[in-house]
Amino acid sequence: MDLLRFATAGSVDDGKSTLIGRLLLDSKAIFEDQLEAVEATSRTKGYDYTDLALLTDGLRSEREQGITIDVAYRYFATPRRKFIIADTPGHVQYTRNMVTGASTADLGLVLVDARQGLTEQSRRHAVILSLLRVPHLVLAVNKMDLVDYDEGVFEAIRSEFAAFTQRLNVPDLAVIPISALQGDNVVTRSEHMPWYEGSSLLHHLENVHIASDRDLRDVRFPVQYVVRPKSDEHHDYRGYAGQVASGVMRPGDEVMVLPSGLTSRIAGIDLYDREVEAAFPPMSVVVRLEDDLDVSRGDMICRVRNAPQQSQDVDAMVCWMTREPLRPRQKLAIKHTTRSARAMVKDVQYRLDINTLHRDGDTQELGLNEIGRVRLRTTQQLLTDPYEHNRVTGSFILIDEATGSTVGAGIVN
């Protein structure tokens, strides 16, 4: 059984909570006491239906205000796959939460109400998912029961969305007509829509091919920690622990350590008490080298003729996540793979309007929840790849040095 992480976006009005509630219920991931608590609360509030949104609104302040304020993680499994849902709210702190949820997702699920058609919000969802290089996108056209399961309504939304996403980087798009409330095309194929020949949503989630999303060619191994037992039994052991970002490493491979540029061969790869014949993403392993090099946290192991960029100048799209705007000359802490440094904002080249994709070059600031292209100068060289090629070596976070808060998320151009 493998693992699929997906991000959902949409508001309560689109029926997102109902859909998630149904997926959890039908896969038996919701327990009776959870359902009873939600039913009781729904009655107290005077609703004549069970408000499945209460399952996902975890914090008291959210229940009091009737809004979701944060990314919530949900879990369910079928015999084929385990799923992790990053459920992001539709309104408040929208961009920040959506970027957070999308950062780890293999698939993005966007919901629209069949009666409303595409909205500004659904276009924004698609833009953010494509910026974050989520490789698979699903548009679920919900509430088909309220438009009499009409093929024409679905087809109009489908073709409009397909045309819109042509301007984005969406390698794989599926559009599925559903009714989350009635269960049409959620778990099983609906009898109400014989004109639809695709699979149900759950079937699609179970079968979408994610194995080839990984880069198995370009070896990138950020060194996290040096394992040196210094015990009698393992007196000379020295290994470099980390999680493989991309590529396949094998004992005997010739490798280069950056930033020093020194080369050696892999003597062995350890996974706890046994040696493995290959390490690939996302394995956490310990790599031993044949030569005694000076390697420490923040360094990167790669192949000799296949190295990342090494530079103190970083050109990136930044999503800004705090009230105080990002400005030129501002100094921040930056964390990139296992390397931490300081960074100064050189300039803001443009701000991206995520509704129209228009680039506004007349600005020198990025406000809360805005995304723009920014140039940074760092105190140390960073070892980067373009985010579109590598989501691990192409991403970083920006930290306010005074408050310690995470204030920005960056993807390397």
Partner 1 sequence: MPTHSDYRLSQLDELEAESIHIFREVVAEFEKPVLMFSGGKDSIVMLRLAEKAFYPARIPFPVLQVDTGYDFPEVLACRDSWVDRLGVRLVVASVEQAIADGVVVDDGRTSRNRLQIGTLLAAIEEGGFTAAFGGGRRDEEKARAKERVYSHRDEFGQWDPKNQRPELWSLYNGRLHEGEHMRIFPLSNWTELDIWHYIAREDVEIPSIYFSHRRRVFERDGMLLTESGFNPLREGETAAERTVRFRTVGDLTLTGCVESTAGTFQEIVDEISVARLTERGATRGDDRFSEAAMEDRKKEGYF
Residues 184-223 that bind partner 1 (CB under 8 A): 211, 214, 216
Q: How far is the CB of 108 from partner 1 (least distance, A)?
A: 15
DSSP state at residue 212 = G
Give the interface segment with partner 1, choosing from 55-63, 108-116, 300-308, 373-381 (CB under 8 A): 55-63
- Nearer to partner 1 by C-beta: 201 or 399? 399
**Interactions with partner 1, residue window 246-275 (CB under 8 A):** 248, 270-273
Q: How far is the CB of 395 from partner 1 (least distance, A)?
A: 5
From the list 136-144, 260-268, 306-314, 335-343, the region that binds partner 1 by CB under 8 A is 335-343
> Which residues in the 373-392 window bind partner 1 by CB under 8 A?
391-392
Name the one range near partner 1 by CB under 8 A: 9-17, 153-161, 191-199, 241-249: 241-249
Closest CA to 372 of 410, 402, 403: 410
| Residues 243 and 261 sit within 8 Å (Cβ to Cβ) | no
CB of 365 to partner 1, least distance (A): 20
Q: Does residue 173 belong to the site contacting partner 1 (CB under 8 A)?
A: no
Of 11-19, 31-39, 166-174, 196-204, which part binds partner 1 (CB under 8 A)? 31-39
Give the nearest distance from C-beta 375 to partner 1 in angstroms.
20
Rule CB under 8 A: choose which of 260, 306, 310, 405 binds partner 1: 405
Q: What is the 3-state secondary structure (H, E, C) of 391-404?
A: CCCCEEEEECCCCC
- Report the chain's C-alpha Rg in angstroms: 24
| Cα–Cα dist 281/218, whole Å | 11
Using the minimum distance from each CB to partner 1, give the nearer residue, 96 or 143. Answer: 96
Distance in angstroms (rounded) separating the CA atoms of residues 151 and 157? 10
Q: What is the widest separation between alpha-carbon atoms in the chain?
A: 75
What whole-number distance in Å separates Cα of residue 323 and Cα of residue 325?
Answer: 6
163 binds partner 1 (CB under 8 A): no
Residue 174 CB, nearest approach to partner 1 (Å): 22
Least distance (Å) between residue 328 CB and partner 1: 23
Nearer to partner 1, 181 or 333 (CB): 333
| Spatial separation of the C-alpha atoms in residues 74 and 58, rounded to whole Å | 11
* Burial class, 87, CB count within 10 angstroms (exposed 0-12 / middle 13-18 / buried 19+): buried
Q: Give burial (CB, 10 Å; 0-12/13-18/19+) of 339.
A: buried
Q: Which residue has the tokens 């392993």?
A: 285
Of residues 88 through 127, those in contact with partner 1 by CB under 8 A are 96-97, 99-100, 103-104
